[in-house]
Structure 1
Amino acid sequence: MKNSHENRTHKITFRLNDQEVKFLDEFSKSAGISRSDTLRNLIRKIQGDASIIKTDKLLQTLNELAAEQGRVNNNINQLAKHANQYSRVEELDPKVFVQFNSLLARYLDYQEDMNRTFRKIYKSLS
């Protein structure tokens, strides 16, 4: 069996700021391993873990979804307000109520799906 050090022919050099090097040193010390081994372990973790996510893009997408959800909620509230203010209900076409109820049911299904997805995302990040 080959020694794992024999295959290490590439030297990587990069810079860290004071806070980053302090974190790396403290983490390495608490784990009882060198800086290099800490970074190698991180690379192995990344290679074997498909759940590592670009959080900045995820947070931007979640923010956009939340904003869209807010707009949808506002539209539903406006529709309900107009329906409540309409004094001649008997003159309304029953098809409007059927269509509204259908769309609201679809919206509630989508809302449940979104909530389940958000819970899965939260669990995977925590």
Structure 2
Amino acid sequence: MKDTQENKTHKITFRLKAQEAKFLDDFAGSAGISRSDTLRNLIRKIQGDASIIKTDKLLNTLSDLAAEQGRVNNNINQLARHANQYSKVSDLDPKVFVRFNTLLNRHLDFQEDMNRTFRKIYKSIS
């Protein structure tokens, strides 16, 4: 439920140390909200009604995960390209195929878990 201006009847003024004010400003900036909204969200969080998401850290983490996923996909492509260089499948050890298929299946399971997590994150911040 969004607060409307008429619901905000109490003005509160207090002083902070320089480092506290900087922390509040940095935190509010990284969350993309004002100081007042940050403090309101903190009060709601203490009450159990709201969550505060530091979007800059979230986006950096998601970017790191996407980069790692890209590296894994690149490695899979390199393995497939290497396997295609063999003219006779009989030249390859069957254990290599079994191991590759096992690892590929694990990768696909992890990728699906990661996609489910991304969907949950998206729903929680939208």
Does the TM-score normalized on the shorter chain lie above 0.5?
yes
**Equivalent residue for 1:11?**
13
**Equivalent residue for 2:123?**
123
Distance 1:43 1:124 in 2: 17
Choose 1 or 2 for highest CA Rg: 1
Distance 1:39 1:84 in 2: 56
Percent identity reads 67
Q: How far has the Cα of 1:81 moved from its partner?
A: 1.2
**Equivalent residue for 1:44?**
43
In structure 2, the CA distance between the partners of 1:124 and 1:39, relative to structure 1 (3 Å rule), is closer
Aligned length: 102
Q: How far has the Cα of 1:85 moved from its partner?
A: 1.9
Q: How far has the Cα of 1:86 moved from its partner?
A: 1.3
Unmatched 5+ stretches in structure 1: 17-22, 25-35
Which one is further off, 64-73 or 84-93? 84-93
Name the amino acid aligned to 2:110: Y
Q: Secondary structure at the match of 1:122?
A: helix
**Equivalent residue for 1:69?**
69
C-alpha RMSD over aligned residues: 3.1
CA deviations 1:43-89 (Å, max 9, x no partner) are 43343345322111111111100000000001101111111121121
Q: Secondary structure at the match of 1:58?
A: helix
Distance 1:90 1:39 in 2: 64
Distance 2:72 2:38 in 1: 45
Q: How far has the Cα of 1:91 moved from its partner?
A: 1.2
Distance 1:105 1:39 in 2: 43
The normalised TM-score by structure 2 is: 0.67
The normalised TM-score by structure 1 is: 0.67
